[in-house]
Amino acid sequence: MKTVFHPANERGAANHGWLNSHHSFSFANYYNPQKMNFGLLRVLNDDTVAAGMGFGKHPHDNMEIVSIPLTGNLKHEDSMGNSAIIKEGEIQVMSAGTGIFHSEFNASAFDEVKFLQIWIFPNKRDVQPRYDQIELPDLQTKDKLHQVLSPNANDAGVWVHQNAWFHMGTFNESGFEKYTIKSGENGVYAFVIDGSFDIDGKSLNNRDALGIWETSEIKITATSPNSRILLIDVPMS
């Protein structure tokens, strides 16, 4: 087993007033050659956007882009004609493929929105751009990991052009589960959204992350009430 620990306080940070963003990997003006990616996971941004503010129209191509609201409502518009509000308890995915323009704004004039923006390198280039968004009612069930993304359009959650799986769960203190990594070529990037966990003997707190590879299974145990975690299972090359 190999691991890499990314404590929350060592992430890149950018506070633009309307946007307070923390970067797990090199992004925009934050550059750390030791934190370029975890396998094919390229970006994990932890964003807080002020009321009524947001990202204007901008382009993407050849990237799988996932947004997960943590609190508040995120308004999305794109060049494919999609216009939607993404809420806590939902997940959004875009396959940028041959190229799209999109914008994301805080849908509220009063409350901030917090969300995770995640980029994964695709296994196919120049695919037809695609958008999807679904509710995740299973997340209300505690002490269990719930699949929210996979490579299979007929499987639970949204899907992407990559052999990647996302699982999320909220655990009571001492709640635990074993997670089997989906492929021998994959590793898992475990990101603590809230609370604290022990992962195979390593203690993680709020917004800490642990990358794990060259193993087949990990055990996660919550060490505080209402602890929430995201597991990103991706190819390492």
Please report the DSSP string for 33-61 in residue order: TT-S-BTTEEEEEEEEE-TT-EEEEEEE-
Give the domain extent around 176: 139-235
Query: Model-level pTM greater than 0.95?
Result: yes
pLDDT at 224: 97
Q: What is the mean pLDDT of residues 81-90?
A: 95
Question: Based on the domain organization, do 109 and 176 belong to the same domain?
Answer: no
Q: Dihedral sign, CA of 93, 157, 54, 209? A: negative
Domain closes at, from 135, 153, 168: 135
Answer yes or no: do 49 and 147 share one domain: no
Q: What is the mean pLDDT of residues 71-94?
A: 95
Total domains in the fold of the chain: 2
pLDDT of residue 97: 96
* Lookup: tokens for 48: 């807080």
**1 occurs within a structural domain:** no
Sign, Cα dihedral of 81, 18, 115, 66: positive
* Mean local confidence (pLDDT), 2-19: 96
Give the residue-averaged pLDDT of 171-199. 97
Which pLDDT does position 131 carry in this prediction? 96
Domain identity same for 22 and 114: yes
Q: Which of the four pLDDT bands, split at 50, 70 and 90, describes residue 212?
A: very high
Give the end of a domain, one of 84, 107, 135. 135
Regarding whether 225 and 212 lie in a shared domain, the answer is yes
- 33, 186, 215 from 2: Cα distances, Å: 19, 12, 8
- CA geometry: angle at 186 spanning 203 and 1, to 5°? 45
